[in-house]
Amino acid sequence: MPKLLPHEDPLRRCLKVHEWPQVDQLAWGPLFEPGDLLDGTAGLGHHWSEDTRQKYRKGYGRWLTFLITRGIYEDHLAPEDRVTQEAVSAYIVQLTLEVASWTVWGRLAELLAVCKAMAPSADWSWLNRAVRRLEARGQDTKDKHTRLRPASQIAAWAYQELDQILKAPPVRFAETQFRDALLVGLLIACPTMRLGNLTRIEIGRHLLTLKGRYELRFQGFEMKARKPIEIPVPERLAPYIDYYMVQVRPLLLNGADSDRLWITQYGQPMRCKTIYSSISLATKRAFGRAINPHLFRDCAVTSVAIEDPKHIGIAAQILGHTDPRTTERHYIQAQQLHACRTLGQSLKELRAQLQPAGEKTKWRMR
């Protein structure tokens, strides 16, 4: 019997809201009431972006799956009353058997966020401590550092790929290859965008043409930091965007109509997971290791920290950080990465200098 994928396994599903028990649906809905923040009538999740809302929905949906499949869901209790230390401990054990430690931390952090919103007056200090401990000991099994590349290297690959496609004879899937290379080039040039922003770019609303150049604009509610931004697109990318808009995009649409910038080969607007996969596959083909969209932000700030450390202050503006400690963590990470690479290269050169010529020849012949 073939092994089920995570999203196919009923024991690992993140239940959607309409699949939740009624008591949980009734607790979830009021979180997004617009109301008024000053008089306390606004829901505590009203400020969440759409991406954040979906992330927390998945986290809470996974928690419900655990309770229901374990037979410990009690519908007479309020949602927050089911979040006990005993139940959460069992939940952590179950998750640990299924996913990486970093994902375990993420699921608990999502549950904590929903609990705080549903029951803000309850004491969640114990759950907060558990989340912090999981974060402290979590190991990123995807080995982020080895996948980072200088921003200039990623951009150079994108331009080279775009040029090669333009010069080569028409081949099958050339349109999607051009689109994917342009996705990579635009994201590394404008890393303030997150995956959700990149996905939802609409022509005339987010992507604007001003005096022969392109600019990206997003309103505050569309950004994680809740602040509107304007991002100038590098002039070097403009000819490729022009070509995509005039030649490639109409072929992808194949008669369909959409304001979205990014279109699938089937004529539909691309979704987040499709763009995530397209960028990951393109960068894996280019560099041997996939660089997912979120890592583009790390690549950008790492490049600034290593190549121009005097101006590391601009990283906060590039990434849209409101907390300087976030930028500082990126800076420290970049310096550590650079130090490790420099040390590795120095040791390699030292070994080459100390190794006798005869041994070098003998080693090469093995």
- Each residue of 128-152: pLDDT tens digit? 999 999 887 765 545 666 788 888 8
- Confidence check: pLDDT of 324 > 70: no
* Range 60-68 average pLDDT: 95
Helices (H), the chain: 22-28, 50-70, 85-98, 101-118, 125-137, 144-147, 151-167, 174-189, 195-199, 238-243, 249-253, 272-287, 295-307, 314-319, 324-354, 357-365
* Range 315-324 average pLDDT: 54
The pLDDT score that the predictor gives to residue 307 is 61
The pLDDT score that the predictor gives to residue 4 is 45
Quick: pLDDT tens for 75-86.
889 999 999 999
The pLDDT score that the predictor gives to residue 86 is 94
Residue 222 banded pLDDT, cuts 50, 70, 90: confident
The first and second tokens of residue 246, run together, are 């005039």
137: which residues sit within 8 A by CB, 6+ positions away?
101
Give the pTM. Answer: 0.62
The pLDDT score that the predictor gives to residue 348 is 54
The pLDDT score that the predictor gives to residue 146 is 75
* Range 179-204 average pLDDT: 94
The CA distances from residue 247 to 43, 101, 206, 243, 292, in Å, are 46, 45, 20, 5, 27
- Domains in the chain (CATH in brackets) are 17-137 (no CATH), 145-292 (1.10.443.10)
The pLDDT score that the predictor gives to residue 344 is 46
